[in-house]
C-alpha cells in the first residue's frame, strides 16, 4: 500500500507568520513507518520526495503516484535508500541487494520495479529520498565501509559527531541527489553547528536512533529569524534553500541528510556564526 501527500513551497516571509501547528504542517514529516505501507511526501522544493517503507508481512513495491504522471516511479527520477532498521532486501528489476542497518542503495533513473522486504525475524525500515533525474546512472550499494567518513566537532561544544557520506558524487554518480548519515557520539547533542544555508539546493533531515521519551529541537528559518520544531524518533523535516538546518536533542541520536538542487558540491554553503543567529 502506497500513501502520499503534497507540500507546497513556502515564502520565508509567509513562514515568519506561521504558528506552531502551521509550521509543523508545512515542514514536519510524521508517520513515515507504518506496517506494510509506503508513505511518501512530495515537496515542491526541487520536487523532492521523502518517504518511509516498512515491510512486515508483505513485500512492498514502490508504485508511481499521480503527481509524477509517469507509468513507473523512476521513469524520470533517481532514488536513494538507507536502511535504519533490521536487515532487509531491495530487489531492483530482478537484482536483489541486502541492506543492513545504515547501509545505502542508489537506484538510477529508468528502473521499472523496486520491491522492499525484511529478513525473516528482523524489521527493516527503509528511509528513501527521490529527486528528478535527466540521465540514468548505475545502481550501486554503499555500505558504511564504502563511505567517506569525516570526524567533526568536539565535546566542548557538545557536537562531536561522525559524518558518513554515502550517496554523494565522489562515491556514486548521481544527477542531483546526495545523501549521508551523521552519528552524534554519546554525550553530544548538537548537529550542524555552525549552521548554514545553501541557496543552490534544498535539504531534508531525518532523525532516528533517538531514545524513547526523548526529543529533538530542529532549528530552521532565515538566520536572523529562526524557528524551531520539536520532533521524536523517525521523523523528518523538509528544509528550504533559504533556511538553516540544525538541531539539538535531549540525548544523542543519528540523522540522515538528503539534498537536491543544481550544485553537487558538498562544501557549497553559507556559514552562519552561532553568535549571529537570531
Q: Taking the CB of residue 30, how many other CB atoms lie within 10 A of it?
A: 12
CA 41, 43, 46: angle at the middle one, nearest 5?
135
CA distance 243 to 106: 27
Residue 169, Cβ neighbours under 10 Å: how many?
16
The predicted-structure confidence for 180-204, as pLDDT tens digits, reads as follows 999 999 999 999 888 888 888 999 9
Q: Quick one: which of 57, 54, 76 has its CA closest to 65?
A: 76
* Half-sphere exposure of residue 148: CA atoms within 13 angstroms, side-chain side: 12
Alpha-carbon span 185 to 180, nearest angstrom = 16
Question: What pLDDT digit, counting tens, does each position of 138-181 carry?
Answer: 999 999 899 999 999 999 999 999 999 999 999 999 999 999 99
Is residue 88 pLDDT above 80, yes or no? yes
Please report, rounded to a whole number, the percentage of residues in the chain having pLDDT higher than 90: 90
pLDDT per residue over 205-253, tens digit each? 999 999 999 999 999 999 999 999 999 999 999 999 999 999 999 999 9
Q: Which residues contact 44 (CB under 8 A, 6 or more apart)?
A: 6, 7, 8, 9
pLDDT for 124 beyond 80: yes
Q: Which domains does the chain have, with CATH numbers?
A: 2-276 (2.60.120.10)
User: Over 80: is that where the pLDDT of 266 sits?
Assistant: no
Asked whether the whole model's pTM tops 0.85, one would answer yes
Residue 267 has pLDDT above 80, yes or no: no
Residue whose C-alpha cell is 563511505: 147
How far is 192 from 216, CA to CA, in rounded Å? 13
Residue 270 reports pLDDT greater than 90: no
Amino acid at each position: 500500500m502506497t500513501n502520499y501527500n503534497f507540500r507546497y513551497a513556502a515564502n520565508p516571509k509567509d513562514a515568519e507568520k506561521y504558528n506552531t501547528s502551521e509550521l509543523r504542517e508545512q515542514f514536519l514529516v510524521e508517520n513515515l513507518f507504518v506496517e506494510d505501507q509506503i508513505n511518501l511526501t512530495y515537496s515542491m522544493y526541487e520536487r523532492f520526495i521523502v518517504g518511509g517503507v516498512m515491510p512486515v508481512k508483505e513485500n512492498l513495491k514502490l508504485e508511481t503516484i499521480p503527481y509524477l504522471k509517469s507509468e513507473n516511479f523512476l521513469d524520470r527520477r533517481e532514488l536513494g535508500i538507507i536502511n535504519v532498521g533490521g536487515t532487509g532486501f531491495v530487489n531492483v528489476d530482478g537484482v536483489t541487494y541486502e541492506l543492513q542497518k545504515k547501509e545505502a542503495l542508489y537506484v538510477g533513473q529508468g528502473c521499472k520495479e523496486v520491491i522492499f522486504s525484511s529478513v525473516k525475524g528482523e524489521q527493516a525500515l527503509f528511509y528513501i529520498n527521490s529527486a528528478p533525474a535527466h540521465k540514468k546512472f548505475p545502481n550501486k550499494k554503499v555500505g558504511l565501509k564504502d563511505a567517506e567518513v569525516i570526524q567533526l566537532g568536539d565535546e566542548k561544544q557538545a557536537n562531536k559527531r561522525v559524518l558518513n557520506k554515502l550517496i554523494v558524487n565522489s562515491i556514486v554518480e548521481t544527477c542531483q541527489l546526495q545523501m549521508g548519515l551523521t552519528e552524534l557520539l554519546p554525550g553530544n547533542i548538537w548537529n550542524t553547528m555552525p549552521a548554514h544555508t545553501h541557496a543552490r539546493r534544498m535539504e531534508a533531515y531525518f532523525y532516528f536512533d533517538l531514545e524513547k521519551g526523548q526529543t529533538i529541537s530542529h532549528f530552521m528559518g532565515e538566520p536572523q529569524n529562526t524557528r524551531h520544531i520539536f520532533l521524536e524518533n523517525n521523523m523528518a523535516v523538509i528544509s528550504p534553500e533559504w533556511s538553516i538546518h540544525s538541531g539539538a536533542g535531549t540525548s544523542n541520536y543519528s540523522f540522515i541528510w538528503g539534498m537536491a538542487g543544481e550544485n553537487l558540491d558538498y562544501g557549497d554553503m553559507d556559514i552562519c556564526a552561532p553568535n549571529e543567529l537570531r
